[in-house]
Copies of this chain bind each other. A is one copy, B any other.
């Protein structure tokens, strides 16, 4: 299996290394050979090549079986001609990654670390499907001295494919989809709601579908997060809501994500950022990236047992309190990674 590693910026390199070490152990144990190659993206790529997504990186990613990314960005590149984030947006587009999946489970062991009351968050088990290649992210932008514009656009096929992915996942879960839009204001949201309603009626009538407005959803996710199963939404709303939800579990450092296309490799990354303030100090929580590696095994390599094995090891380590400082533990990035590796063995 060819796996491309994109360490990126800030804590990216150390958490990517942690996940690679875990994958290597899994490879030995189950008898797979993972071939890792590292490529530049983001600020690190700007520093070396002037481009946030060099052509060599793009070519390697589309040819790989899967891609594991650390994080991009940091104040170092503020105000520069090119921005590190451009690299991330460009690789999503180049790989055709239209669905960003963010699963969230709040474990009873860590519920006490949530800013929310235990009775609200314990047992939360949801997954966000965020559309990733449309919306205001990729529409035309204009700028004059006095005025700026961003175009938000969606086509029917773009909405259909992420909608199908969300409904298919709901079938394997609790059978409920909540589609989020702003249909009382936006034309793209009215199209979104029409398409989701039609796909539901034609192809997934057995799934429970509800529509919610993004503003009230921002409330409901705090008041009653346990009610949600699959949350389906467009690019920008998904960006905001999935970050909002990410605090429910007590540490954003725990959370993985998968970005998938129709076929071809997926891209897997923790949802935390590059955290330049703690970079290189063995402080970053590697769990979000390690769990992203588990999603990589499951979604791109179809190695379900191997993915389960990583997830079980992480659960054991969290239950034992072998965690980094963001979770009140005493371990560093390396120590927490070793704990996961020991648990796998």
Contacts and interface: CB of A to CB of B under 8 A. Distances in A.
A184 B73 contact: yes
Interface stretch (A20-28, A96-104, A217-225, A307-315): A217-225
Nearest to A85: B184
Contacts of A148: 153-154, 187-188, 190-191
A186 to B, nearest CB: 5
A152 interface: yes
Interface string A284-301: 000000000000000000
A150 B218 contact: no
A188 B117 contact: no
A141 B185 CA distance: 10
B247 A223 contact: yes
A175 to B, nearest CB: 24
Given A116-B116, A215-B243, A150 B186 contact: yes
B154 A152 contact: no
Contact of A116 (B117, B190, B215, B236): B117
A252 B145 CA distance: 40
Contacts of A187: 141-143, 148-150
Given A73-B184, A146-B155, A244-B244, 6 more contacts: A115-B116, A139-B149, A143-B190, A145-B156, A148-B154, A151-B152
